[in-house]
Amino acid sequence: MSFEKELKKRRTFAIIAHPDAGKTTLTEKLLLFGGAIQTAGAVKSNKIKKSTTSDFMEIEKQRGISVATSVMTFEYKDLKINILDTPGHKDFAEDTYRTLTAVDSVILVIDCLKGVEEQTGKLMEVCRMRDTPVIIFVNKLDREGQGPFDLLDELEEKLDIRVRPITWPVNGGRNFKGVYHLTDRKMNFFAVNKTRLEEDIFKYDIDSPELASKIGEKDALQLQEDVELIEGIYDDFDREAYLKGQLAPVFFGSAVSNFGVMELLDTFCQVSPLPISRQTDKRLVLPTEKKFTGFVFKIHANIDPRHRDRIAFLRVCSGTFERSKFYEHVRLDKKLRFSNPYMFMADSKEVVDEAYPGDVVGLYDTGNFKIGDTMTEGEELQFTGIPSFSPELFREVINADPMKTKQLEKGVQQLSEEGVAQLFIMQPGNRKIIGTVGELQFEVIEHRLLHEYGAKCRFEAKPYSKACWLTSDDPQALDEFIRLKNNFIAYDKDENPVFLAETDWILRMNMENNPKVKFHTTSEFKVMA
């Protein structure tokens, strides 16, 4: 198949949500409807013991939450769809933010009872920064929740985006009877089926006499009034406005019951964007360019604990990525080739000979990659806009088993390179300080160090509240500051100096007293080595 046809087949998106909104369950059901799996599990279900496909890490199965982005690929209606299922918990937001740099659109999952929650708003802010197209799926309609009009008002107000319902619910909770498709003008009746895909969905037009006999005269009349109100209040769906991130189509359903998912998937296939252009430090890279470029947005060690492997996830931005061909690692100024590049279905994988713009390829990594690294066919450029943050919590790693010192050091180093947390080294003694944005990250780190590296540790809280990377146009001024503040100076994994401030007031005082020293709250100032 030609390059142009392969490009037109690709759709790459992330599923984002507040924790427990049903994000991972929706991912599972999209795979089910796409034919990628035959039976789906349910997170935290007592009746269904099978864990969800995308939550394959042991701690995810135990806690019933996603703590790392999963990458899954499947084919549906002649399209090749790449799903990135992201963590919803705010403690792992940095992984989600990085993932959003690697996708072309987003499906946002909303709990019909809880509506727009704090983390939902923050995720949407990141989408709006890049004008990312967003489709909204209002989930759990078979549970008691807010009214649909109230939810639409809340979505527009809190997410600062115009919405347009594509499907519309008849009642909710125990009385949930189904959804009416406003575009197809058909009624789909609700039926509970948690594990298998059923094809026998009955459809009736809104004016059909059979509809009133099925759902009752009162509900049929209410539906007609709702549809009339929707058509009067909301603009028609405009694909161009959606692609610009200005208008979000809204679907209602119940992911756990397989209801409303088919409408979502079919519309996604019709309206979602092809692979988009990406900005670099030199120029804009177009997906239609024939020469390969791509960037690493995620690194995951021990995706298969039996083999202790380390995988770098690379988003193809232009051209064709070919197996066993040499490519330029721009930061290292080094040629690399990959004999076994993979595409993933969560924890299962298959070797691929070629990958095209929009695809996410897993590359076995022996320590060459860092998040944000760029691969090209020789051109020196660096993809930009991969976010990083100053940690908010700091703890020192204390080795609980001196016989496993090497395993501990390797584990801490690899997990920090994955982006699970940030690592700072303080002297004297090469003390390891872990910085995170949330408490749960420490639990994940401790669990993974023990189960993946056989290393036991404990964490000792440190009084710091902010990490600032240091640079200066006056090397002498920087050296003097580091000497005077030695007790608060650490070095990151790239040996860049970092000032660890105990309070915002202390940070402000040091900034005012040292005007020749620049304090950076992200590490994006770094130049290529």
pLDDT, tens digit, 9 for 90 and up, residues 153-195: 999 999 999 999 999 999 988 888 889 999 888 888 877 665 5
Task: Specify whether domain 393-520 bears CATH 3.30.70.3280.
Answer: yes
pLDDT tens digit sequence for 380-434: 999 987 766 678 889 999 999 999 999 999 889 888 877 778 899 999 889 999 9
Question: Span 3-176+236-271: which CATH code?
Answer: 3.40.50.300
Q: Closest Cα partner for 32 from 93, 98, 78, 76?
A: 76
**Topology of domain 278-376, per CATH?**
Rossmann fold (3.40.50)
User: Among the listed ranges 78-87, 303-312, 333-342, 405-414, which one has the minimum average pLDDT value?
Assistant: 303-312
Task: Report the range out of 65-79, 270-284, 306-320 with the highest average pLDDT.
Answer: 270-284
**pTM of the predicted model as reported, rounded to 2 decimal places:** 0.78
What pLDDT was estimated at residue 512? 95
Q: Closest Cα partner for 256 from 47, 98, 434?
A: 47
Q: Is the peptide bond preceding residue 391 cis, with omega within 30 degrees of 0?
A: no
Helix (H/G/I), strand (E/B), else coil: 365: coil
Q: Are 324 and 311 in contact (CB under 8 A)?
A: no
- The stretches of 101-247 forming alpha helices (DSSP H) are 118-129, 148-159, 209-215, 217-233, 239-243
Helix (H/G/I), strand (E/B), else coil: 143: coil
User: Among the listed ranges 74-83, 207-216, 358-367, 466-475, which one has the minimum average pLDDT value?
Assistant: 207-216
Distance CA 501, CA 378 (A): 41
Count CB-CB contacts under 10 A for residue 96.
23
Reported confidence tier of residue 60, pLDDT bands at 50, 70, 90? very low
Q: Are 261 and 253 in contact (CB under 8 A)?
A: yes
- Average confidence (pLDDT) over 238-261: 93
Under the phi-then-psi rule, with left for phi > 0, alpha for psi from -120 to 50, and beta for the rest, what region is 334? beta
pLDDT at residue 241 above 50? yes
Q: Are 264 and 272 in contact (CB under 8 A)?
A: no
Q: What is the widest separation between alpha-carbon atoms in the chain? A: 85
Reported confidence tier of residue 462, pLDDT bands at 50, 70, 90? very high
User: Among the listed ranges 177-181, 276-280, 516-520, 524-528, which one has the minimum average pLDDT value?
Assistant: 524-528
Number of residues that this document lists for the chain: 529
Nearest-5° Cα angle at 162, 274 to 278 = 30
Q: What does the buried/exposed string (b/e) look like for 316-338 if buried means 16 or more CB atoms within 10 Å of the residue's CB?
A: bbbbbbbeeeebbbbbeeeebeb
Q: Closest Cα partner for 258 from 38, 12, 20, 77?
A: 38
- Average confidence (pLDDT) over 319-348: 89
Percent share of the chain, pLDDT over 70: 84
Domain ranges of the chain: 3-176+236-271, 278-376, 393-520
Distance CA 124, CA 126 (A): 5
What pLDDT was estimated at residue 247? 96
What pLDDT was estimated at residue 206? 78
Under the phi-then-psi rule, with left for phi > 0, alpha for psi from -120 to 50, and beta for the rest, what region is 279? beta
Same fold, 278-376 and 393-520: no
Reported confidence tier of residue 89, pLDDT bands at 50, 70, 90? very low
